Amino acid sequence: MRKNSIKNTRVNTEVLKELSKILREGIKDPRVATFTSVVAVEVAPDLKTCKAYISVLGDKKAQEDTVKGLQSAEGYIRRELARTVNMRNTPEIKFILDQSIEYGVNMSRMIDEVTKDLKDGEE
């Protein structure tokens, strides 16, 4: 796999920042959960496609509804992105649900339970 160039890293950072702002302020779709955050963005070097990894705080249904809502609002999101970020091409955005934050919270909870059990065993 190729290492990202400085230009590509800057584009990824700028798209991440603007995409977060658009999701926070511009989306009115009731399917999109309030606590939706953009975790990472990968824009292809040719600026044609973009993978946006999103995290949704909520149950499985809320996550699925949010992804569907974002997919249906992709045209609006692309238009806003084109308006705010000056790029040669505005990428086609694919929203991917990122489970890493939820996984980290579950692992932390399990570690806390184990350490609590160990402390209870010592007493």
The tens-digit pLDDT sequence of the chain (123 residues) is 456 688 888 888 999 999 989 888 878 878 888 888 889 999 888 888 999 999 888 788 888 888 888 888 888 988 888 888 888 888 899 999 887 777 888 888 889 888 887 777 666
Q: In the prediction, which pLDDT does 123 show?
A: 60
pLDDT at res. 86: 83
pLDDT for res 121: 66
Q: Give pTM, 2 decimals.
A: 0.75
Burial class for 116, CB neighbours closer than 10 Å (0-12, 13-18, 19+): exposed
Confidence (pLDDT) at 1 = 43
Contact 89, 82 (CB under 8 A): no
Residue-level length of the chain = 123
pLDDT of residue 56: 85
